Amino acid sequence: MNGELRLDAGTVTDAAAIALEHEPVPAEQVVAGAPTTGLRVLDSTDGRIVGVWEMTPGAMRDIEADEVFIVLSGAATLEFQHPIADPIVLAPGSVVRLEAGMRTLWTVRQTLRKLYVAP
């Protein structure tokens, strides 16, 4: 399958409960606390990736990829440092589109878990 990963058709994957292995956020990205992140790709076909990402409480800077995500659990604020835009408060059900190259600041108050789709 050329390294592709596929979800089984007609089955359920519980993205809210799936186990993720966490790693510390690189020191140069940490703004506050000692956040960790976990990631698991669920489906990777036709140039599209569907995955689950999680961050524990703390704050970190990031440079984004193109993606659309929906928050499954947690609470955070996402600030846009470039291009400048109003911060958004993230909660379960929030749907957000990010563009490649956006510079962001994630401040997580309660472990944040999102399901994302990237082209």
CA-to-CA separations, 3 to 6, 46, 119, in angstroms, rounded: 10, 11, 16
pTM for the model: 0.92
Mean pLDDT of the chain: 95
pLDDT at 2: 57
* Cis geometry, peptide bond prior to residue 24 (ω within 30 degrees of 0): no
Q: What is the pLDDT of residues 64-111, one digit of tens each?
A: 999 999 999 999 999 999 999 999 999 999 999 999 999 999 999 999
The pLDDT value given to residue 1: 45
Adjacent-strand bridge partners of 36: 24
Burial of 59 (0-12, 13-18, 19+ CB in 10 A): buried
Residue 8: band (very low, low, confident or very high) from pLDDT cuts 50, 70, 90: confident
